[in-house]
């Protein structure tokens, strides 16, 4: 009887251990395997072009606008993201479920030198909201960090709000990108009234982007 009980206990430990191991593996594997990629160009706080992934939208985070409609902390978030990507020795991307959004952009988690860029953006207070079209691997962690950023009053949540100075014009025909960027610092998409094909040198549907 004692031998039988011992055998049952060992089996239970094995089953529970295996279940826990499997659950952890499923959680870790959900987001997919990381792969190394190279930056082609940075667009704004949550969008960039990569060599393998193409035009990519960062999963789950939504930073303030910095192109057509410039919002507070939009330029700051854009500058922060671009600096991180350009200075990174190693960039890794990670898929998590659906690979493309309705605009054809690749959806990715972005890692710069081993750190999750979305996490860094949230901690800085540069994420105004989350777009929740599903359950993502790092969602709960980012939500907690967002609450902390709000509590600590950093970035968008600070008492000292960033002022936004926007040059306005009704002009649509600019001579060159230097002139256009005085009003649209990060360039314009093909749908914008100021877009000109001659300023879209790489023919990606975005003129004068930095």
Query: 20-35 burial string, b = 16+ CB within 10 Å, else e?
Result: eeeeeeeeeeebeeee
Is 201 in the active site?
no
Is 210 in the active site?
no
* Per annotation, catalytic residue among 105, 139, 181, 210: 105
Is 65 in the active site?
yes
For residue range 164-186, what is the model confidence (pLDDT) as tens digits? Answer: 555 556 677 888 887 877 677 66
DSSP of 82-97, one letter per residue? HHHHHH-S-EEEE--S
43 half-sphere exposure, CB direction, 13 A CA radius:
22
From 98-102, 132-136, 143-147, 192-196, the region with the lowest mean pLDDT: 132-136
Please list, in sequence order, all residues whose beta carbon lies within 8 angstroms of the beta carbon of residue 50, skipping any fewer than 6 positions away: 37, 38, 39, 40, 56, 91, 93, 106, 108
Residue 39, beta-bridge partner list:
50
Backbone angles phi, psi at 8, to 5 degrees: -65, -40
Given a cut of 70, whether residue 42 has pLDDT beyond it is yes
Residue 188, beta-bridge partner list:
207
How much is the pLDDT for 23?
A: 37
Backbone angles phi, psi at 117, to 5 degrees: -60, -40
Q: Which domains does the chain have, with CATH numbers?
A: 35-157 (2.40.50.90), 177-207 (no CATH)
Count of C-beta atoms within a 10 Å radius of residue 68: 14
How much is the pLDDT for 117?
A: 98
Whether 102 and 45 have beta carbons less than 8 Å apart is answered as no
Instruction: With cut-offs at 50, 70 and 90, classify the pLDDT of residue 86.
Output: very high
Whether 118 and 124 have beta carbons less than 8 Å apart is answered as no
């Amino acid at each position: 009887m004692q031998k039988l009980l011992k055998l049952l206990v060992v089996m239970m430990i094995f089953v529970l251990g295996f279940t826990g191991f499997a659950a952890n593996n499923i959680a870790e594997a959900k987001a997919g395997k990381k792969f190394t990629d190279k930056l082609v160009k940075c667009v704004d706080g949550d969008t960039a072009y990569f060599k393998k992934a193409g035009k990519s939208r960062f999963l789950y985070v939504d930073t303030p606008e910095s192109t057509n409609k410039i919002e507070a902390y939009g330029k700051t978030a854009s500058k922060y993201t671009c600096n991180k990507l350009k200075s990174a020795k190693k960039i890794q991307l990670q898929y998590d479920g659906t690979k493309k959004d309705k605009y054809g952009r690749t959806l990715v988690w972005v890692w710069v030198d081993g750190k999750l860029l979305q996490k860094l953006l949230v901690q800085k207070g540069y994420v105004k909201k989350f777009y929740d079209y599903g359950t993502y691997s790092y969602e709960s962690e980012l939500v907690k960090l967002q609450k902390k950023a709000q509590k600590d009053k950093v970035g968008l949540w600070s008492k000292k709000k960033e002022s936004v100075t926007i040059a306005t014009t009704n002009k649509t025909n600019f001579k060159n990108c230097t002139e256009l960027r005085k009003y649209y610092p990060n360039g314009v998409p093909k749908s914008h009234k100021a877009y000109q094909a001659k300023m879209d040198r790489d023919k990606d549907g975005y003129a004068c982007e930095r």
